Amino acid sequence: MTQTDGAGARRFTRARTYLMCPPDYFRVEYAINPWMHPDEPADADLAMRQWQGLRETYRRLGHIVRVIDPLPGLPDMVFAANGATVIDGKVLGAQFRHAERVPEGPAYLTWFIRNGYRTAVSPRSVNEGEGDIVSAERVIFVGHGFRTDEAVAEEVEKLFGRPAITLRLVNPRFYHLDTALCVLNPDTAAYYPPAFDDAGRAALAGHFRELIEAKDEDAEVLGLNALSDGRHVVLPAAASGLAATLASKGFEPVGVDVSEFLKAGGGPKCCTLELR
């Protein structure tokens, strides 16, 4: 399906396959990013309803959702985007920075091996999956500075056979690349400029034909932690300004309530790993 905006830009929808992990054990039990405050606990029942709503949103838009079983003692395993990077059926596993999340890497890699992925590679460098490794089809962006080692760019290029462009993150509130950059299609992205250094902003401007800047108020609700199928953009409902801007550019924003996951520094994208 396609949609054309007033300026004539054509927006193409492509069905996707996503991997998600139910929030059975989701809690805010520790603080490993500035969003997490254990004295402000998440509502487990509400988190489950919000997760189910996100899953059903993907299905309603025509996408396939697969599910990995959560493991007790891993409250952040719900953030499936961090579990691996999958491009062309090849899997680069994750190696987490913080001890609290380290067991998630092997858990996700085991799922891929058991589900028939023949090329599933354990990483040499610390990387937190699609949290910091963002595919733009022709190239792959690698965020670093807080969670992921810049050196993983070499592994990415070798495994996936595409050039990697590194981007340094400089604001600890935007500790993963997917909190500050959303690739909308191969030529268009939305981003939050203050999350990047000068070189990173220049690299993004040099790659994308169109860059949409998120305002402070939308970045502060992790509005860029979103997913695009080329036409629909699933993003936090609280990011109303960004949604309006996307609509003016010919995209169809689809707001979802993910307020409980924001308490852990997450949003729709964090909960979703694309199986390319």
What angle is formed at CA 75 by the lines to CA 84 and CA 169, rounded to 5 degrees?
50
Q: Which residues face 183 on adjacent strands?
A: 189
First and final CA of the chain: distance in angstroms? 19
Please identify every residue annotated as catalytic.
Answer: 176, 270
Alpha carbons 152 and 234: distance in angstroms, whole number? 28
- Residues in Cβ contact with 60 at an 8 Å cutoff, skipping those fewer than 6 apart: none
Alpha carbons 229 and 136: distance in angstroms, whole number? 12
Encoded tokens for 154: 């070499």
Q: Which residues face 140 on adjacent strands?
A: 135, 164
Alpha carbons 224 and 234: distance in angstroms, whole number? 10
Nearest C-alpha neighbor of 54 from the set 226, 256, 267: 256
Instruction: Output the CA torsion 270→132→224→12 (10° steps).
Output: -90
